[in-house]
Amino acid sequence: MNYIAFPRLFDTVFSIDPVAFTIFGHPIRWYGIIICLGFIAAAAYCSYRARDFGLTADNVTDFMLWLIPICVIGARAYYVLNRWDTYKDHPEDIIKIWEGGIAIYGGIIAGALAAALYCKIKKVNFLSLGDVAVLGLLTGQFIGRWGNFVNAEAYGTATSLPWGMSINGAPPCHPTFLYESLWNFALFIFLHFYSKKRKFKGELILLYFSLYGLGRAWIEGLRTDSLYVGNTNIRISQLLAVCFFVICAGALVYLRIRKNYEKYDLLSLNREN
């Protein structure tokens, strides 16, 4: 049981059991349920918007069948590789994803590779699929982050701000799960409306990685559970976020100045869509 409060805002203490219910003696956790809801919402949104991007709902459904298992594997692999010192002596624990330990960047990288492979085989426009996929990704992200709230994890350093979150009686800290959820929701709203007047295929991909990277770089700096590069003080996710921001924001500025959209569209695996 976790006890979570926002003592500077109100007196209520939330008593949260991470286990929603059990089936045949096996616990079903709220975290898994929330992540599943995120996937379902993302798939529903992408299916609804598919036609706006020259795709069909069947394209989205087929892609999701590829995407979900590959993203889960990628997110787990990323986490395990960056904590190899923990797993190298206990390789049997690598598959125990139900005990926690996934990383969003691993899922994103795996998802991008899955998208490229799917588009190549099915002859679907990679950039069009990517544009609608990042909208679905944001949907899943702002919902999925609430799984961290239930688990009382992904929190930040101590703070005296009014919205500081206390976990199990500890001093108030930054509710970084909430910061990222709100940031992702704001990005989703912005890109949802902007998508209706995008300048070129792939623009939403660049906007997502630049804006999400900007927010994640700041939020990651507040967290206390970051993965680090070797024995350094460099946070891996923060480093990736900065790189994504610099590269994608730079590409957006270049394309807007040069208006060289046609050349960028050559990256499409199928230019018919």
216 assigned to some structural domain = no
Residue 257 is assigned to a structural domain of this protein:
no
Q: Report residue 195's pLDDT band, with 50, 70 and 90 as the boundaries.
A: very high
Q: Is residue 240 part of a domain?
A: no
Instruction: Domain of residue 40: give its range.
Output: 2-195
- Inside any domain, residue 212: no
Q: How confident is the model at residue 271 (pLDDT cuts 50, 70, 90)?
A: very low
Does residue 23 or residue 194 have the better pLDDT? 194
Task: Please check whether residue 210 lies inside any domain of the structure.
Answer: no
pLDDT for the residue 79? 83
Closest CA to 134 of 163, 112, 167: 112
pLDDT at 269: 47
Least confidently predicted of 81-95, 116-130, 177-191: 81-95
248 part of a folded domain: no
Count the domains in the chain: 1
Q: pLDDT (tens digit, 9 = 90+) per residue, 6-56?
A: 999 999 999 999 999 898 888 888 988 998 899 899 999 999 999 999 999
Residue 141 has pLDDT above 90, yes or no: yes
Bridge partners of 156, per DSSP, are 223
117 within domain boundaries: yes
The pLDDT of residue 161 is above 60 = yes
- 57-82 and 104-122 helices cross at what angle (nearest 10)? 140
Contact 62/124 with Cβ under 8 angstroms?
A: no
User: Of the ranges 36-50, 133-147, 201-215, 220-234, which one carries the lowest mean pLDDT score?
Assistant: 220-234
What rounded mean pLDDT belongs to the chain?
88
pLDDT at position 109 is 87
Burial-class residue 203 by CB neighbours within 10 Å (0-12, 13-18, 19+).
buried
Q: For 1-10, 50-59, 71-80, 158-167, which range has the lowest pLDDT when averaged over its residues?
A: 71-80
pTM score, whole prediction: 0.86
In a domain, 230, yes or no: no
